[in-house]
Amino acid sequence: MREAAGPTVGIVANPLAGKDVRRLTSGATPVSDAVKIGAIRRAVVGAFEGGAERVLISGDRARLGDRALVGLHRSGPVEVTEPHGWHTGRDSQLAAARFCELGVGAVIALGGDGTQRDVAKGWRNVPLVPLAVGTNNVFPQQLEATVVGFAAGAVASGLGAAAEVTSQAKIIDITLESSGDSDVALVDVCLVRGAFVGARAVWESASVSEIVAAIAEPASVGLSAIAAAVAPLGRYEAGGVHVRLGCASRNAQRSRHIRAAVMPGSYSDIDIEHCEHVGFDQPVTLRGPGVLTLDGEREIVLGRGEPAEVTVRPNGPQVIDVSAAVAAAQRRRYRFVPAVADG
């Protein structure tokens, strides 16, 4: 594929988003391919309206991009990239990395927290509109795809100057001291009891022993909602929150009992033993045995006593403020239109 010619918007659509086991164990409705295809179609229309001259859509085994383009009138060239064939989050990671190499000006990622994390793994400071179509949607936004596409097109074309309409998100770096391997998360890292990854999604809060959250907003659903109940922290506030869960029967004097929405349609009883604010670049050591979940999905098995260093940093994706980008583009596009007189 040639380097992007002219202002280009990239679209990453995860066919697996919104279909994990949490949808089966809660009151949430699975997100169908038809919903994602419709969002892609509307985002393409909006991207060209916002000033993009080209749109790239990540290919996947479900052929969401190809299906979205059937019968769609386009104002410019749209290309679906070759799928990488993993049929996992690695596809989104590799698509984002390729978009970076091609000089794409803005990326729309359709999915939940896990999809946004995969995109950030491929392109750490990606200019991003995270569009929520997953199960846990703490990091992405619930927005209409038409205006999301417009905002991305405006940033790619310069009508909405990136410096004016983006904010840099936090990111959590995870380093395994024994091997030197590393990974990232955008919302939270949790230590879960057990020794197997199994079903990657976590839906049972009783298995969680520690949480490090970069976002702990009270209106969230997911494991970060536990941290938000005792130490709320906004997505653009400095640092993170470290929470240790306890057992009320063992630590009656130290534990604090709460209830939190750990997945859609479900509240859980939780005992908090300790919580504290941690600053940027202040590492927290989580120690096995257990499994580390990154943004709600089991990823890394820790042996007994094996440490992992978890650090919240300020240099994550450049998140596009959709309203600000649309407003900036309209100001520049219509600056010669006379103001409408009152009365």
- Domains of the chain in sequence order: 8-169+316-333 (3.40.50.10330), 171-313 (2.60.200.30)
Read off the pLDDT of residues 39-90 as tens digits, 9 standing for 90 and up.
999 999 999 999 999 999 999 999 999 999 999 998 899 999 998 887 888 9
Single-letter amino acid code for the residue at 130: P
Residue pair 5/88 in contact (Cβ under 8 Å)? The answer is no
For residues 291-300, give the mean pLDDT: 93
Structure tokens at 189: 């890292």
pLDDT of 295 > 70? The answer is: yes
Report the distance separating Cα 315 and Cα 312, nearest Å.
9
> Which residues partner with 131 through β-bridges?
110, 141
Q: What is the pTM for the complete model shown?
A: 0.89
Residue 305: its pLDDT value, please?
A: 95
Distance CA 200, CA 190 (A): 13
CB distance 122 to 97 below 8 Å? yes
Given a cut of 60, is residue 198 above it in pLDDT?
no
Contacts of 288 (CB under 8 A, 6+ apart): 191, 301, 302, 303, 304, 305, 306, 307, 308
pLDDT digits (tens, 9 = 90+) for 215-230: 999 999 989 999 999 9
| Mean confidence (pLDDT) of the chain | 89
Mean pLDDT of the region 149-172: 96
Q: Angle between the 322-333 and 145-157 helix axes, to the nearest 10 degrees?
A: 60
